[in-house]
């Protein structure tokens, strides 16, 4: 799988949030988007996921323009900004509800995803009672539970304790070896140094630099 952006731009009224960005992402790699808050990382992620339509430029999946079909990429799952679930359902019930959309997985895969994020003990607690870190973990679990080929994470480690972060880093490296394409944004360079094969630096909506390990 190859995901490309070509001269990608996105404006909101008079503000240009993404400015003529060209990037390439390929399966079997982890890519980092680095920049301060407000640098354009989240907008860029929403563009490549099909949540926003570009003002100009293209998002290509294996050469096919994403926005010609106006579809969410079928084998992509994403956590962008703050996850939102139903407060009156448990963590497990929320994931089961999402899983019913495509009916690709059973309870077994849901429980496995909850274990990866160290949320098994809280799986039956109502989401409305979850802490910030627990909500973040559930958001990550919904990305990984259906074993997608492309995983997109926006500041995935916010509010999560260090032992779970270490476990997730190990998990993502294992998924990369399976040929997955993983993209994550953060303003914390140490997280990217442990994970990313290539880092794209965002500054005021522009990609200013690339770095290969």
One-letter-per-residue 3-state SS of 166-192 = HHHHHHHHHHHHCCCEEEEEECCHHHH
> 66 by DSSP, 3-state: which?
helix
Sheet containing strand 64-65, edge to edge, reads: 15-26, 2-12, 56-61, 64-65
| pTM for the full predicted model | 0.94
Tell me how far apart the alpha carbons of residues 19 and 23 are, in angstroms, rounded to a whole number: 12
Domain ranges of the chain: 1-75+149-156+175-213, 83-148
Sheet containing strand 29-34, edge to edge, reads: 76-79, 150-154, 181-186, 29-34, 198-203, 206-212
For residue 145, the Cα-to-chain-centroid distance in whole angstroms is: 13
Full pLDDT tens readout for the chain, 213 residues: 999 999 999 999 889 999 999 999 999 999 999 988 888 999 999 999 999 999 999 999 999 898 887 677 889 999 998 888 999 999 999 999 999 999 999 999 999 999 999 999 999 999 999 999 999 999 999 999 999 999 999 999 999 999 999 999 999 999 999 999 999 998 888 888 889 999 999 999 999 766 655
Tell me how far apart the alpha carbons of residues 121 and 108 are, in angstroms, rounded to a whole number: 15
1-75+149-156+175-213: CATH topology is: Rossmann fold (3.40.50)
pLDDT of residue 194: 85
Beta bridge partners of 33: 185, 200
């Amino acid at each position: 799988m190859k995901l490309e952006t070509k001269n990608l731009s996105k404006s909101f009224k008079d503000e240009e949030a993404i400015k003529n960005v060209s990037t390439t992402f390929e399966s079997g790699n982890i890519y980092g988007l680095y920049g301060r808050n407000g640098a354009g990382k989240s907008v860029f992620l929403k563009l490549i996921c099909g949540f926003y339509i570009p003002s100009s430029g293209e998002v290509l999946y294996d050469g096919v323009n994403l926005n010609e079909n106006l579809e969410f990429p079928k084998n992509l799952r994403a956590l962008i900004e703050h996850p939102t679930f139903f407060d009156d359902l448990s963590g497990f019930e929320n994931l089961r509800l999402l899983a019913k959309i495509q009916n690709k997985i059973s309870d077994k895969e849901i429980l496995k995803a909850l274990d990866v994020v160290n949320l098994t003990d809280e799986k039956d607690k109502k989401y409305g009672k979850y802490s910030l870190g627990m909500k973040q973990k559930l958001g990550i679990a919904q990305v990984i539970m259906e074993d997608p080929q492309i995983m997109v994470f926006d500041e995935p480690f916010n509010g999560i304790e260090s032992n779970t972060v270490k476990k997730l880093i190990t998990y993502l490296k294992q998924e990369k070896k399976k040929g997955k394409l993983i993209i994550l944004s953060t303003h914390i360079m140490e997280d990217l140094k442990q994970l990313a094969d290539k880092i794209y630096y965002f500054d005021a909506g522009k990609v200013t630099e690339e770095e290969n390990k």
